[in-house]
Amino acid sequence: MTARDTLALPDGRQVRALFPVIVSASRSTDIPAFFADWFFRRLEQGYSLWRNPFSGKTACVSYAHTRFIVFWSKNPRPLLKHLGELERRGIGCYVQYTLNDYRAEGFERHVPEVEERLDTFFALSERLGRDGVIWRNDPLLLTDRLGLDGLLKKAERLGDALCGHTEKLVFSFADITPRVAANLKREGVRWQSWTRERMEEYAAALARLNDKWGFTLATCAESVDLERFGIAHNRCVDDELIIRRAHTDRALMKHLGVRIEREPALCPETLPEGALRLGSGLYALRTRKLLDKGQREHCGCIPSKDIGEYSTCRHLCAYCYANADRASVLKNCAGHSTGGESISGRLLPPEAAENINSPHAGPGQD
């Protein structure tokens, strides 16, 4: 779903490039928090460079065909001043906003205070609409000092504050991969495993809390089936939400394989199976099923191009899967500049490295 062609760089070189229609910014680092000015500078320049974490090769990503961006962040406040630029370019977006309350436990020492992050959430919701900001309460981390009751109390405080400002709550149970385990060990965190029984107990309690909120509840890339609690499997890069927010964009709808039709005047209730009502007498019909096969086994996302780099997130959260360690982050960020072609300052080699969009194995894959 990401086209390949050649791109003329400012220095005159013709290089192979990726031309994504949907961009993920980013599962691998927090672009809105730390690299928003850089990203919008690259959007203006028309391309950025991206390093494949597995092959080590540098690829060129063109924004010439980009029609929609999914942002991921723990602190997207720097994004607010740039939203007008997306509107001027006719590029749609929504924000996956990770909002936890782990300050007392020291899991998120470098994110702003909860109240400040709530204020940012409210501002984004007012700017983008309630469906334009998704609350992510993840990962849910169990430790010797933080159990189910503690996690639920934190979720309730945040949910009470966010009620009326978002439509969806997405959560996930912490996957303790070797990298995550190493990061937790360095921070002195004694984690505990999520059993199916614990997952179901948490889901049942969260569903009861949701009686007062009315959020759509969903899990991210979880194998456990919680549908009996009213909890769905999420698509974080979600074609349905993209359609609802950008169905007037003909090029984007063509890319997604979507037809926009008018409801029949006589029997508007008789729509084709799978039709999405859009209001104003319109509905959308998807002609093909999209799935990003490069993601984790239980991920429901549609294809997109992630443009982030691992080991560049300065939040340095204790449970991070995307950072190898603090030293790697400091090293990679030392070369960053707003005017640079890549997040870490890496340059395209003279031989114009081959673009490889390899499947990743792990939570931050693309």
CATH, residue 298: 3.20.20
Return the H-helix or E-strand segment holding 14.
strand 14-19
Residues 286, 301 within the same domain: no
Residues 155, 225 within the same domain: yes
Residues 6+ apart with CB under 8 A from 190: 143, 144, 145
Residues paired with residue 6 on neighbouring β-strands, in sequence order: 16
Q: Which amino acid is at 323?
A: N
Distance from C-alpha of 163 to C-alpha of 197, rounded to nearest angstrom: 28
Ordered per-residue pLDDT tens for the chain, 366 residues: 566 788 988 888 888 999 999 999 999 999 999 999 999 999 999 999 999 888 888 889 999 999 999 999 999 999 999 999 999 999 999 999 999 999 899 999 999 999 999 999 999 999 999 999 999 999 999 999 999 999 999 999 999 999 999 999 999 999 999 999 999 999 999 999 999 999 999 999 999 999 999 999 999 999 999 999 999 999 999 999 999 999 999 999 999 999 999 998 777 678 899 999 999 999 999 999 999 998 989 999 999 999 999 999 999 999 999 999 999 999 999 999 999 999 999 777 655 544 333 333 333 334
Structure tokens at 141: 């981390």
Kindly state whether residue 351 falls inside one of the protein's structural domains. Answer: no
Kindly state whether residue 137 falls inside one of the protein's structural domains. Answer: yes
Kindly state whether residue 354 falls inside one of the protein's structural domains. Answer: no
Distance from C-alpha of 298 to C-alpha of 220, rounded to nearest angstrom: 8
If we measure between CA atoms, which residue out of 310, 315, 316, 319 comes closest to residue 185? 319
Residues 224, 183 within the same domain: yes
> Domain containing 190: what range?
3-237+292-334
Supply the pLDDT for residue 219: 98
Residues 297, 287 within the same domain: no
Residues 256, 323 within the same domain: no
Kindly state whether residue 7 falls inside one of the protein's structural domains. Answer: yes
Kindly state whether residue 347 falls inside one of the protein's structural domains. Answer: no
Kindly state whether residue 32 falls inside one of the protein's structural domains. Answer: yes
Does the pTM exceed 0.85? yes
Q: Which amino acid is at 162?
A: L
Kindly state whether residue 361 falls inside one of the protein's structural domains. Answer: no
Residues 65, 171 within the same domain: yes
Supply the pLDDT for residue 54: 84
Supply the pLDDT for residue 347: 75
Residues 171, 260 within the same domain: no
Supply the pLDDT for residue 309: 96
Residues 6+ apart with CB under 8 A from 161: 118
Domain count, the chain: 2
Residues 161, 17 within the same domain: yes
Residues 6+ apart with CB under 8 A from 302: 1, 22, 235, 237, 238, 239, 242, 256, 290, 291, 292
Residues 211, 275 within the same domain: no
Kindly state whether residue 22 falls inside one of the protein's structural domains. Answer: yes
Residues 136, 60 within the same domain: yes
Supply the pLDDT for residue 268: 66
Q: DSSP of 222-283, one letter per residue?
A: --S--GGGTEEEP-SS-HHHHHHHHTT-HHHHHHHTEEEEEPPSS-TT---TT-EEEETTEE
Residues 266, 305 within the same domain: no
Residues 115, 20 within the same domain: yes
Residues 6+ apart with CB under 8 A from 182: 325
Structure tokens at 226: 């919680």
Supply the pLDDT for residue 13: 81
Supply the pLDDT for residue 312: 97
If we measure between CA atoms, which residue out of 55, 66, 88 comes closest to residue 18? 66
User: In the block, which residue shows the tokens 């899990």?
Assistant: 219
Per DSSP, the chain holds a count of helices (H) and strands (E) of 10, 15
